Amino acid sequence: MAIGFKIHPRTRTIDPATVEKFKGIAVANISDSMSRMSHGGARIRPLHAGGVLCGVALTVRARPGDNLLIHAALNRAKPGDVLVVDGDGDLTNALMGELMLSHAQQIGMAGVVLNGAVRDYGWIRMNSFPVFAAGVTHRGPYKNGPGEMNATIAIEGMVIEPGDLIVGDDDGFVCVPFDQTEAVFAAADKKQQAEARTMAAIKDGTVDRSWVERALAESGCEGI
């Protein structure tokens, strides 16, 4: 038995209708609706030209600097999958570049999230294929393993199970657990609608900011 070197089956997946409706929800509103307790780390930033990331998690735990299991995942990926790789945050070697990312795009993947480095940044920033990563380096990877595909991973404390929902925008990315998508969508959509009403009030000069003074008074602030 090869411990830590295995391709597991993925036994669940988010339905396309749920993926589609989350595309219109800001990551910040999803995060707020999850009590601000789910966070993939401020280091992992969008590097592509722009656009929303939304799809089903295909997880990989990679040995730092090694992308053999990432290649294995590309061979097994489904359209709409988001490749989410825990490379331990190591930036010594790039785990993916233009060739692998082009292949991921060509087979219909929704995007890539790497807790690690990429290369060919010029190609990434000129294209709309969603790529989130922790850094950039020209030095390439090894291809020896070990690693695991469709295993539970964690990025900066955020647990990601294969088949969970991954959503990303300019503010970063978030994982919505498989069995919480409906509740999170309802809460995030409600918050987003409330923010739209607040923005309308800001624009017409009628926004109510009395809550600030109430909060100061209730907290015992002097001088108000």
- Collapsing DSSP to helix, strand or coil, 35 comes out as coil
Detail the residues annotated as belonging to a binding site for substrate: 97-100, 119
- Collapsing DSSP to helix, strand or coil, 43 comes out as coil
Detail the residues annotated as belonging to a binding site: 97-100, 119-120
Q: What angle do CA 90, 178, 182 make, to 5 degrees?
A: 130
The Cα 141–Cα 16 span in angstroms is 33
- Collapsing DSSP to helix, strand or coil, 100 comes out as helix
Detail the residues annotated as belonging to a binding site for Mg(2+): 120
Q: What is the amino acid identity at position 182?
A: E
Residue 204: Cβ within 10 Å count: 8
Length of the chain: 224
The Cα 143–Cα 141 span in angstroms is 7
Q: What is the amino acid identity at position 5?
A: F
What would the two tokens of residue 115 be? 């807790």
Are the C-beta atoms of residues 168 and 53 closer than 8 Å to each other?
Answer: yes
What would the two tokens of residue 75 be? 């061979």
